[in-house]
Every structure is written in structure tokens, then in C-alpha cells.
Amino acid sequence: MPALLGLLLAASIDGEAALRHASALAALGPHPWGSPRNQAAAAYVAAQLREAGLDDVELQAFERNGIRGTNVIATLRAPGDDFVVIGAHHDTAPEAPGAYDDGGGVGILIELGRILARDERRPRTIVLASFDGEEAWSTGKGTTAGSRAYVERLGSRARSLVAAFAIEMSGWKRGTPVLHPIAYPDPRESGRAVIAPAWLVRAALEGSREAGVPLGVGDPWLSWLYQPAVRTFRVRLYGDDLSFLQAGHPALFASDSSFSAFYPDYHKPSDTADQLDAAALERMGRGVLGIARALERVPRGASEEPNWFGAFDRVIGWPWLVGLGAASLLPGLWRGWRAGGLALAVRVLQAMLAGVLLWLHPVPALWLLLVPHLLLSWRRSWWAVLLALAPAASLLAIGASAWWRQAVNGVWLAPWEIAVAALALALSFLDLRGSGGRKATSRKPPGRKRR
């Protein structure tokens, strides 16, 4: 039996081991891209990956904007050209030892390597990448330098890249592992965004669920609000998924920090190993192992599939979102049709505006309009009006709060699109029963005129 037990332990993520790696990296002190200590960090990661049983480990030197760096690239080969990248980053912010950002992620990466290296049959090549220069912002010379250098060096091999998945900021006891699909600026077209495609989010949710650590989308408490929010406001947070998405490849990152619980020592000198928790690293590690297993076998999907909504552990695709939005307009249109005249004209205008918004920004459009459409065509009591306003109010509130925390720096919607949204929303609140046959749906106590 001890042999079997040993085998079982060897096949699961060891949180203590991940914590030892994070501690060893943080013990170097702050080691930003281009610093001498940063070279020691890369050497440590390469040595530990080899120690973990990987024999194809390459130190990939690169230079960007006059600064040198080193990615550590470990490859677990399978037949065929297709490959998946699982990444973390070993550089830190200038002042931070980086136990959490991203020593924990690298520790999990090494543990993944130890487990995946034991696989006898591998459906698809897996590249474990510890990137340098993720915190390149601190040099004022670009972002995610190491992963950008990696993607560029792929050349024509990039065609075989199925997806990239980054492990960020992991191992905080009070955190909860979540996926962070954030909309980033598309360098190919200004004003346009790129975001993790639906199939990739679906595969990650399934993989983590099968591993017994189901990851949420964006936030453990505010997931439904997070999803329209990242498509409405320009969020400043990112991981190495940025380099891949901006080069046209499916990518996503996970962290156990979120809007409702964000690691307080982020990028601070106090980001030390004693803040980390082995059980929290193990939790994230098991989830990511499940995701790696899912990405090994998932059929290749589109590089762009931006409009989706994650709910109840499922990912609802674009046709359903637009269909739901269109269906929600029917009760209002029906009432307008019956009332005729101005009421009909207003409902048709409202439907056209909502249709434009649904077409261009389905997720924010549904968030803003679905509840008013359904609720107000049924009830117009004060509570129904308040409830119908709640989605818009919550979206504005989270945007304002994120702005105050300097987590966003703009909006994705053009000014005319915001005007369309505001008008479509306002029209859904317009009470037109007076212009058709009057039919009160709520009793009013005598003597009260206002509602």
C-alpha cells in the first residue's frame, strides 16, 4: 500500500512544494526584468523544472528596448504540431519580492511540470513557460515583454498554438481562484477589444470542475456584474495572456485575487512568502492541472469568439445572448402593437436602439436591458422600477469604484453607443399605458398621485 500511496501523492499538486518555490524566489528580494537577481530567478526555475523530471528545458534570452531578459521554456512533447502554453512569470515589480506575484504562480508551474512529466501518453504538446518581463510596465517600455518575445519567436509555429493559459497572483488564503477574461485593446484596430474566446472559458471551467476546484468567472461574488463590467470599462489589470490575445491567439489567466477580494500587498515590499498559504497554492494548482488536462484534449476553437456569458458553470454563446435579448423585446412590442399610435412608435424605436446595442455589445446590452424589458412590461410598481434600474446602477457603481481604485482607465463604448444605451434604457421606463387603453396593474391607495 505505501507504494500506491506514494504514487497517488506524486500525481497530485503539492502545495508545500509550490510554497517552497515561491519562498525561494521571494528570498532573492525584488527581481525585476533586467536586474541581476532576475537572472538568478530564471536559473532557479530552469533548475527546478529539470529537477522535476522535465528534460527539454530551454533558457530563451531576449532583448526588448535595450533590456535583456530570459524566459524559461520547458516542453513536454506529443505527436503532432498542436501545442498549449501554460505560463507564469518569474520577474517582479521593482519594489516587491513577488512571493504572490508571481512566485506562487511559478511554484504551481513547477509542480504542474512534475506531474505532467510522469504522463505516459500525452494527447498534445504542453509548453510550460516561466516568462520574464511581465511587469515591464515598470520600465516604462511596454507591457508583458517576455511573453511578447516568446510569441514573436514562434514565427510560423504560432499557427499550431491552441491556447495559452497564465497562472497569476496565487496562494492567498483569503482569495478565491477565478478566471479573469478581461477585454484588452486590439492593436490591429483602435477602439476594438480582444477577449478570451467562449470555447476556451468553457474548457477551463469544465477542466477545473472535473479537478474538484471549480473556478468562477472574474469574481466569486460579482461574476455576473464583472462580465458586463470588463466589456464596458477598460480594465488596467492583465497577465501574460495579453501578449497572446493581442497577437490573435486564444488566451486567459487565472488568479485568486478578484475585485471583491484583492491581495492587499500587491506590488509592495510586503509581498513576502509569509503571506502565502500552501493550501491556497494547492487549491489553485489542482484547478490549473484540471485546466491543463482539458486543454490537452479540447478541439481547437476560433481565435475570436468574444461574446459569451458565464452563468451556472456554463458559458452561454452569442446566438443565445442575442436571441434572449430579442425575445425580451417582444412583450413590450406586443403591448405597443395593441395600444397603437405613439405607444407603438416608441416601442419600435426602443427595440431598434436595443437591437443596435445587442448587436455591438451583447453582454453589456443584456445586463442593462433584460430586467427592465421583462419586468416593466409586466409590473410598474415602485419596486419593479427600482429593480429594473439595479443592473444599470450596479454597473455604474462598479465602474466608479474601479475608477477610484485606478483599476480602469476608460470605457469601451463610443459616446454615441452610450447615448443609444441610455435612450434605450430610458424608453423602457416610459409608461405609455395612458396613450392606449388604460389598464392599471397595481392598486394605488386613494390620495396618492405620485408613485
Q: Catalog residues that contact Zn ion under the rule CB under 5 A.
A: 101-102, 168
Rank residues 98 and 310 by Cβ distance to Zn ion and give the closer one.
98
Q: Which of 76, 137, 130 is nearest to 103 (CA)?
A: 130
Rounded Cα distance, 356 and 417, in Å: 9
Rank residues 102 and 256 by Cβ distance to Zn ion and give the closer one.
102
**Smallest separation (angstroms) from Zn ion to the CB of 102:** 4
Rounded Cα distance, 75 and 58, in Å: 8
Residue 357 in grid coordinates: 446595442
Query: What is the DSSP track for 389-428?
Result: HHHHHHHHHHHHHHHHTT-EEEESS-HHHHHHHHHHHHHH
Radius of gyration of the chain (CA): 25
Rank residues 25 and 357 by Cβ distance to Zn ion and give the closer one.
25
**Smallest separation (angstroms) from Zn ion to the CB of 242:** 11
**Smallest separation (angstroms) from Zn ion to the CB of 28:** 16
Q: In sequence order, which residues have a C-beta less than 8 Å from that of residue 324 and are 6 or more positions away? A: 366, 370
What does the buried/exposed string (b/e) look like for 89-110 if buried means 16 or more CB atoms within 10 Å of the residue's CB?
bbbbbeebbbbbbbbbbbbbbb
Question: Contact at 8 Å (CB) between 22 and 99?
Answer: yes
Rounded Cα distance, 152 and 194, in Å: 18
Rank residues 225 and 230 by Cβ distance to Zn ion and give the closer one.
230
Element holding 99 (H helix, E strand): none
Q: In sequence order, which residues have a C-beta less than 8 Å from that of residue 236 and are 6 or more positions away? A: 406, 407, 408, 409
Rank residues 267 and 361 by Cβ distance to Zn ion and give the closer one.
267
Rank residues 180 and 373 by Cβ distance to Zn ion and give the closer one.
180
**Smallest separation (angstroms) from Zn ion to the CB of 350:** 44
**Smallest separation (angstroms) from Zn ion to the CB of 280:** 16
Question: Contact at 8 Å (CB) between 74 and 29?
Answer: no
**Smallest separation (angstroms) from Zn ion to the CB of 100:** 9
Query: What is the DSSP track for 263-303?
Result: -TTTTSTT--GGGB-HHHHHHHHHHHHHHHHHHHHSPP--S
462598479: which residue's cell?
A: 398
Q: Which of 356, 296, 343 is nearest to 437 (CA)?
A: 343
Rank residues 109 and 366 by Cβ distance to Zn ion and give the closer one.
109
Rank residues 227 and 255 by Cβ distance to Zn ion and give the closer one.
255
- The neighbour count for residue 287, using CB atoms within 10 Å, is 28
Element holding 60 (H helix, E strand): strand 57-64
**Smallest separation (angstroms) from Zn ion to the CB of 304:** 25
**Smallest separation (angstroms) from Zn ion to the CB of 17:** 21
Rounded Cα distance, 42 and 48, in Å: 10
**Smallest separation (angstroms) from Zn ion to the CB of 402:** 18
Rank residues 101 and 277 by Cβ distance to Zn ion and give the closer one.
101
Rank residues 90 and 234 by Cβ distance to Zn ion and give the closer one.
90
**Smallest separation (angstroms) from Zn ion to the CB of 9:** 29
Rank residues 102 and 219 by Cβ distance to Zn ion and give the closer one.
102
**Smallest separation (angstroms) from Zn ion to the CB of 225:** 24
